[in-house]
């Protein structure tokens, strides 16, 4: 079994790539945030397992389909690979908020999928990096350490100051990756 302390789970929109209230509907709209691809590669090269857990309700809303999402994720994977890193698994929820699924964050279903797919005994002590409270809540439900980045919706989440008692806060994914690789435990 793998050590969950070496697992970093990332939200996608607002953490890895620019977010949009109109949804990221195509590969051309999927634009990485500065330093994010390099940060994923850095974590991977430092021995961390990197996974992604992302709500993608744009599928349920008919804005794009799963083939388009796969194209975006394949591109993400190739960008990270070009920097020498790897994303071990991408878990996504294609459902809308009224679909009553068990995978849409803040529920922990996507994280449980990652746990099973990557054969972790538990997620206790792993890292959950997000830009919204629901990301952190999903992580806390499975024992992940919550990390809030100020990119995407992060500043708004920080200004609401609700449910962030346990969160550590970083400017962006690159700053967190630098810190984690320096303070590996």
Report the percentage of the chain scoring pLDDT > 90: 96
* Three-state SS at 154: helix
**Confidence tier at 3 by pLDDT (50, 70, 90):** confident
pLDDT digits (tens, 9 = 90+) for 28-85: 999 999 999 999 999 999 999 999 999 999 999 999 999 999 999 999 999 999 999 9
- Residue 25 phi/psi, 5° resolution? -105, -5
Tokens of 93: 């929820």
CA distance 9 to 53: 7
End-to-end Cα separation, the chain, in angstroms: 17
* Three-state SS at 28: helix
CA distance 37 to 174: 9
DSSP secondary structure code for residue 92 in this structure: E
Q: Which of 13, 19, 131, 172 is catalytic?
A: 13
* 11 flagged as catalytic: yes
The sign one gets for the Cα dihedral 32, 35, 36, 41 is: positive
- 185 pLDDT exceeds 80? no
Cβ(172)–Cβ(129) below 8 Å: no
**Confidence tier at 126 by pLDDT (50, 70, 90):** very high
- 153 pLDDT exceeds 90? yes
Q: Beta partners for 64? A: none
Q: Beta partners for 54? A: 92
pLDDT digits (tens, 9 = 90+) for 47-58: 999 999 999 999
Tokens of 17: 């790539």
Q: Which of 11, 19, 131, 172 is catalytic?
A: 11
């Amino acid at each position: 079994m793998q050590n969950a302390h070496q697992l970093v789970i990332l939200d996608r929109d607002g953490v890895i790539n620019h977010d949009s209230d109109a949804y990221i509907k195509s590969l051309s709209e999927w634009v990485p945030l500065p330093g994010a691809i390099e940060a994923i590669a850095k974590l991977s090269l430092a021995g961390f397992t990197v996974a992604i857990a992302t709500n993608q309700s744009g599928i349920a809303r008919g804005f794009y389909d799963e083939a388009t999402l796969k194209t975006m994720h394949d591109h993400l994977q190739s960008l990270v690979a070009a920097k020498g890193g790897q994303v071990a698994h991408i878990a996504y929820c294609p459902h809308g908020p009224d679909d009553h699924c068990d995978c849409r964050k803040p529920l922990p279903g996507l994280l449980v999928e990652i746990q099973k797919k990557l054969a972790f005994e538990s997620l206790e002590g792993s890292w959950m990096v997000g830009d919204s409270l629901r990301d952190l809540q999903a992580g806390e439900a499975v024992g992940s350490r919550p990390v809030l980045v100020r990119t995407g919706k992060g500043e708004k989440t920080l200004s609401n100051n609700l449910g962030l008692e346990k969160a550590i806060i970083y400017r962006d994914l690159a700053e967190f990756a630098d810190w984690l690789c320096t303070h590996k435990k």
